[in-house]
Amino acid sequence: MSRVSLAILLSICPILAMPQGTAPVAPTNDAPNPYKTVEGWAKLPEGRTWGSTSAVDIDRDGKSIWVAERCGANTCWNAAERKASPLDVVLKFDETGKLVKSFGAGMFVFPHGIFVDRDGNIWVTDGQDNLPRRGRGAAAASSGIQEAAPMPPMPEKVIGHQVFKFSPDGKLLLTLGKPGGNQPGQPVDPASFYQPNDVITNERGDIFVCEGHGDNAPARIVKFDKTGKFIKELGKNGTGPGEFKQPHAFAFDSKGRLFVADRSNNRIQILDQDLNVIEVGWQQYSRASGLFIDKDDMLYAADSESGRVAPDRTAWTRGIRIGSITDGPNGKIRAFIPDPEKNPTSTSSAEGVAVDRAGNIYGAEVGQRALKKYVK
């Protein structure tokens, strides 16, 4: 191959590697940060410490905060003891940070996404299951070949890969998906899930769920009516428009358009409510794990992975980027709350994000196991 041919090939390879329908965007790390960080704002009961959380939303009162927390760890399932944590998962804090309501103990393995609907009901996704996994085996003495470890016994009750709707008092109102979900290699029920990441409802009460938490996992958006009846689905794992790699979070804008954080494609896709693709792009918001759109159509996008989980994005700083949807798909980032951690070992900074009526921002953190508040 000639040097000219090689140069041409090298010049087009980054373009070929880009998700379809997108173009390279320079890192957006330089916007001002007008916010102060408030740590330790939300108080847990005596003796309980924060676990990982990626799930935060605002109560319909505009000031109370709902969180789904992983039981003081990064899971609510104790695999060694084959039992669920006794801790409540769904937590409500008032505006002072006082815990005023909690429920959901024993129902979750990996609470992941949360949404408060127009009636004040709380929706939570569970992104893993408690099915037994075969551990590493020991080498046979005679051959030195590793033997398969025995399969652990089944749990008394299979849970996971479901979406739950609760009343504000914690009454279970609706469950979507079968317990244990659509396991790889088994027939797929389109009304069930594997790794559901987030959930949202529209004004009619239709329900939208995004699933697929790995780069090679099934990836789709699923729509149900308000009773939980399956209507339709969109997507598969891929890079084209209407294809996804880790569709991780949802938000509606004032026009009723559904914004989807297509995390591992480092972009946002916008859908109508019939799951037709309207637009693909918005890469200035980086590798979005969490999304929130306020009443003024300000878009908040939380990047918790650039430079560590996504080592090809070392030029992008993790953090919360803020801009206006009215500025369009190429609009500038108006404010940026950067991750203070320079060399984290894994995911870092806010993964979930929400904004209260007063404009205070809340970041739900998996790596630091915290719920931080940002105020002007």
Tokens matching residue 150: 């025995």
H or E element, residue 16: helix 3-17
Strands (E), 247-349: 247-252, 258-262, 267-271, 277-281, 290-293, 298-303, 319-324, 335-338
CA 44/CA 312 separation, integer angstroms:
37
Please answer whether residues 299 and 346 qualify as being in contact, where contact means their C-beta atoms are separated by less than 8 angstroms: no
Number of Cβ atoms within 10 Å of the Cβ of 321: 25
Backbone angles phi, psi at 373, to 5 degrees: -120, 140
Q: Which residues pair with 262 in a beta bridge?
A: 247, 267
Specify the amino acid at residue 166: F
Number of Cβ atoms within 10 Å of the Cβ of 156: 8
Please answer whether residues 202 and 252 qualify as being in contact, where contact means their C-beta atoms are separated by less than 8 angstroms: yes
Tell me what pLDDT residue 6 has. 36
Per-residue model confidence as pLDDT tens for the chain (376 residues): 443 343 333 334 433 345 765 678 999 999 999 999 999 999 999 999 999 999 999 999 999 999 999 999 999 999 999 999 999 999 999 999 999 999 999 999 999 999 999 999 999 999 999 999 877 665 555 556 666 778 889 999 999 999 999 999 999 999 999 999 999 999 999 999 999 999 999 999 999 999 999 889 999 999 999 999 999 999 999 999 999 999 999 999 999 999 999 999 999 999 999 999 999 999 999 999 999 999 999 999 999 999 989 999 999 999 999 999 999 999 999 999 999 998 898 999 999 999 999 999 999 999 999 999 999 9
CA 222/CA 199 separation, integer angstroms:
10
Tell me what pLDDT residue 1 has. 43
N-to-C CA span, the chain: 58
Please name the residue that has the structure tokens 């000219």: 4
Please answer whether residues 280 and 274 qualify as being in contact, where contact means their C-beta atoms are separated by less than 8 angstroms: no
CA 334/CA 298 separation, integer angstroms:
10
Backbone angles phi, psi at 280, to 5 degrees: -135, 130
Q: Please report, for the chain, the start and end positions of each structural domain, with discontinuous segments joined by +.
A: 3-375
Question: How many residues comprise the chain?
Answer: 376
pTM: 0.92
How many CA atoms lie less than 13 Å away from 277 in the CB half-sphere? 16
Backbone angles phi, psi at 284, to 5 degrees: -65, -15
Backbone angles phi, psi at 326, to 5 degrees: -65, -15
User: Strand pairing of 163-166 and 90-93?
Assistant: unpaired
Q: How far is CA 282 from the centre of its chain?
A: 18
CA 99/CA 114 separation, integer angstroms:
17
DSSP-derived 3-state class of residue 27: coil
CATH homologous superfamily for the domain 3-375: TolB, C-terminal domain (2.120.10.30)
Tokens matching residue 271: 């859908």
CA-CA-CA-CA dihedral for 144, 150, 151, 152, to nearest 10: -130
